[in-house]
Amino acid sequence: MTIDRRSFVAASLVSGLLAGETAFAQTPPPGLGGSRSTALPDPTETIDLWPKGVPGMPATPPVETIDDRSTQAHIPDRAVHGTARPRMVVFRPDRPNGAAVLLTPGGGYQRVVIDKEGYEMARWLTARGFTAFVLFYRLPGEGWANRPDTPLSDAQRAMRLIRHRAKDFSLDPERVAAMGFSAGGHVCASLSTRFAATVYTPVDEADRMSARPFCAAPIYPVVSMDPAIAHAGSRDLLLGPSPSAALEAAHSPERNVPADAPPHWLLHAEDDTTVPVENTVRLRAALKARGITVETHLFEHGGHGFGLRGAVGKPVEVWPELWRAWARTKGLG
């Protein structure tokens, strides 16, 4: 489905009635109105990343399209591609603990998953006091200028906007973490290692804020662009055909860990046949070599893309509470 005018206007009116949001006219969330299978209402509050114009817009902008892939009643499985207005969807807890998590769902850089690694995880976090921001970032293969840095520029901008508007969400601006899944794990790992890289021209006061996450959790992440272990589809869409060795290195987070990288929490299943576990192993080694705090969990079974729903009934289902316990020791919440 595409965003039609009626949905856009309705969502804009809802957003405009939210307390504190009247000054921020926003694009509605992707897929607003719900999946045919969802039993929960979709969120309505969003934050556009680039209200003054999205940088690097193609001559023919992509058309936002939702694919509803659900095959089970009441279990939504939507994904979006063609995002021309990157934005965050906001999930507010009833009792904020002062900490936030920026979520970057996966999708192989072909799409961005809405439900499984986005809204589901956001609801889990808000039930525990965290404010969650689900990032719908631009896809590098859709004609954007500065192709390989397009997702990272959205992630940097998102972190800065969250901090800039921390008071609106009762947040401590320092305690903003990042968590990403699969290709979104590459976005997360890129952010946690290249948070200080200049990948876009500053546009307003928000860009004076730091983009460094308080801590980072790449989950079954795409990491390396080394063809020996890279997820081929993500690599091709991010770097384009026949990338140079220098381009591969520049977009392999394990080769760009700075001395001031944040603490990391890593998770992967050894039987992942989509993104080899070596991606996480290499990132861990690089972090350890730089003296960065890192906790790593490698499970025997789990496959790829388990998120919350796919982990049920397996030892790996404990992962969210393991992350939460670790995050608490770091002072996140």
- Contact between residue 11 and residue 29 where contact means Cβ atoms under 8 Å apart: yes
**Alpha-carbon span 181 to 194, nearest angstrom:** 18
Confidence of residue 116 (pLDDT cuts 50, 70, 90): very high
Average pLDDT score, the chain = 92
Indicate if the alpha-carbon torsion angle 109, 112, 115, 118 is positive or negative.
positive
Check pLDDT > 80 for residue 5: no
Q: At 299, is the pLDDT very low, low, confident or very high (cuts 50, 70, 90)?
A: very high
The residues near 214 (Cβ < 8 Å, ≥ 6 apart) are 99, 174, 175, 176, 177, 262, 330, 332
CA distance 18 to 43: 12
Interval 201-240: pLDDT, tens:
999 999 999 999 999 999 999 999 999 999 999 999 999 9
Closest-CA residue to 1 (of 33, 40, 44, 27): 33
| DSSP state string for 63-85 | --EEEE---BTTB--EEEE--SS
Taken as a whole, the chain contains a residue count of: 333
User: How far, in Å, CA of 333 to CA of 324, rounded?
Assistant: 8
For residues 118-131, give the mean pLDDT.
98
pLDDT 10s digits, 247-278: 999 999 999 999 999 999 999 999 999 999 99
- Tens digits of residue pLDDT in 150-179: 999 999 999 999 999 999 999 999 999 999
Q: What is the pLDDT of residue 90?
A: 98
CATH superfamily membership of 5-330 = Alpha/Beta hydrolase fold, catalytic domain (3.40.50.1820)
Q: Where are the domains of the chain?
A: 5-330
210, 160 Cβ separation under 8 angstroms? yes
pLDDT at 11: 41
d(CA 16, CA 21): 6
**15 pLDDT more than 70:** no
Query: Which amino acid is residue 189, in one-letter code?
Result: A
Whether the predicted model's global pTM rises above the 0.75 cut: yes
